[in-house]
A and B are shown apart, each in its own frame.
Chain A
Amino acid sequence: MSTPPDPAIRVEGLVREFPGGLRAVDGIDLAVSKGEIYGFLGPNGAGKSTTVAILTTLLPPTAGRAVVVGHDVTAEGAQVRRKIGASLQQSALDPYLTAWEHIRLQGALHGLPRPHTQRRGEELLHRLGLSEAASRKVRTYSGGMQRRLDLALALLHEPQVLFLDEPTTGLDVQSRTGLWEEIKALAQRGVTVFLTTQYLEEADLLADRVGIIDRGRIVAEGPPSRLKAEIGRPALEAIPADPASAAGLAKLLERFGEPLSLGTTDGVSIRLQGGTGELAEIVRAIDAAGIAVADLRIHAPTLDDVFLAKTGRRLEGGGEG
């Protein structure tokens, strides 16, 4: 993909090396358009959080360049911080302060006028479902509430770019879904979102484009649908009602695609030649042959398959600690 004109985030040859020679970020190039949700996907230790730390001016790069909302992160850090918000892996909350006290502190640090902080704080607390708890100390909050407060603080000064570092890790399903809705709403309002995650579903659902990082390098980048389509066609798995008819079923399905092993013992699988459009014809053929089928499943390629194709390893359950 060509670099968009005037991107919200532009990274060129970014490197971060730690003492001992460890290269957590090993030459990254990327560009994120304004208003885009960019998903940064990779296993633990891939370099996601280090990249975010550099882009949010918390860590200087060893080499390369990063420009966020038109300002170099190294030379113009203060200007970058005015225009970005960040909700990082650690919620960075004071357990002895209330939500309102956090809001006032954040507003004061950004130099916001008090009436503006008050108004904006009310709006955000309401939107994120924290109004009732706002006068309680943060140590009484659940994990989900703390994450939402962290997000509210990141949004208080109406940033142009929002960095979210694994925002839903450790959250229950309901909290996670709620946060996804909020992220989508932010993007619709024109906020650029740079989101790191190790959850395929999250990247698939939210991101306009995904960058897959492994061992400090981007191994694939693009819209999730295109990345998955590049990997291959969907697979079909048919489980015969009578195991004895498996051989006949396999022979019948051969004309629709090449045989495939999905690791199941009682099913017959093929890689579909013509995609899911052939499904109706396959069902008619099975019916005409009189073979009873207990189950029929379509396996679409996932981002995990993309990662496997690029790195030889699975992303989910196979990443390094």
Chain B
Amino acid sequence: MSAPAGLWTVTRAVARRNLGSYLRRPELLLPSLLFPLVFFASFAGGLSALGHLPAFHYAPGYTTFQYGFILCQTALFSGLFTAFSLAYDLETGFARRLFLASANRTGIPLGYAAVAVARAILAIAVVTAVALAVGMRVEGTPGQLVLLCVLGLLLVLIGYGWAAGIALRFRTVQAGPAMQTPVFLAVFLAPAYVPLQLLRGWIHSVANFNPVTYYLEATRGLLSGHPEELLAALLLAAALAAAFWGWTQFNLKAAEAAG
């Protein structure tokens, strides 16, 4: 008889299977790598004229400015799309196997979370390589870039935690719009294209209260070497990541109760 499989054993097993599936299936792997690139090309390339606005003051330039947005977007969406895989496994019944075999079921969503982080690292590595190749300037110190990674990790967990909770609650990929739409709105109701001070009208008011604005500003600040309100952004990100993890756990219990 086996020794009881602990939390990390289950987490590792789930993560290994999901990461293997992701790397092996082009229909999952390629879009996740290509879309950040396409968005980067479209925004940094197609909107580069905005960098010439008199009120646009960002020393590293518009390419780096957009790269910061792509970083945040990719981190959040990597978490989100990993939760899609969880929803799919729940709907098709494969998750039942995981529920049946796992002594500690918390390891199941934790395993998917680990894969979300891995997917984000891969996608961001690709877009970073391309951005550097086209001359993006990064003026942050090594220490600031480490903090940038920490912030990115927290964003992945925020995107994943929110969507995984929805996936466990509804247990179907039909819940995709419910998972995706709030994240999409949060990302774009922020200074996506221009700095906060250049936003006009209602979107400026919304962006002021949008947590993503803080993450964006912190990300761009770290890239430029002049982070502002970094501590607030990190604490807010950590708090939201913890809150959404609680949301995932709450819905895991609901999934167990529903069978």
Contacts and interface: CB of A to CB of B under 8 A. Distances in A.
A108 B16 contact: yes
B100 A81 contact: yes
Contacts of B177: none
A94 B9 contact: no
Nearest to A96: B21
Residue of A59, A81, A109 with most partner-chain B CB within 10 A: A109
A20 B2 CA distance: 41
A2 interface: no
B97 interface: yes
A108 B13 contact: yes
A94 B2 contact: no
Chain A: interface secondary structure?
loop
Interface string B1-18: 111111001101110110
A92 B94 contact: yes
Interface string A294-308: 000000000000000
Interface stretch (B101-109, B126-134, B167-175): B101-109
B257 interface: yes
Interface residues of A, number: 32
- B: contact size bracket: 20 to 34
A28 interface: no
A56 interface: yes
B94 A93 contact: yes
Contacts of A82: 1-2, 4, 103
B1 A92 contact: no
A106 B13 CA distance: 8
A97 B17 contact: yes
Interface in A58-116: 58-60, 78, 81-83, 86, 88, 90-94, 96-97, 101, 105-106, 108-113, 116
25 contacts: A53-B259, A58-B256, A59-B258, A60-B259, A78-B4, A81-B101, A82-B2, A88-B93, A91-B93, A92-B96, A94-B94, A96-B21, A101-B20, A108-B5, A108-B9, A109-B10, A109-B14, A110-B2, A110-B5, A111-B5, A111-B6, A111-B103, A112-B2, A113-B2, A153-B97
Interface of B: 1-6, 9-10, 12-14, 16-17, 20-21, 24-25, 89, 92-94, 96-104, 256-259
Given A96-B21, A109-B102, 15 more contacts: A56-B100, A78-B104, A81-B103, A82-B2, A88-B96, A93-B94, A94-B17, A97-B20, A97-B21, A108-B9, A110-B5, A111-B4, A111-B5, A111-B6, A112-B2
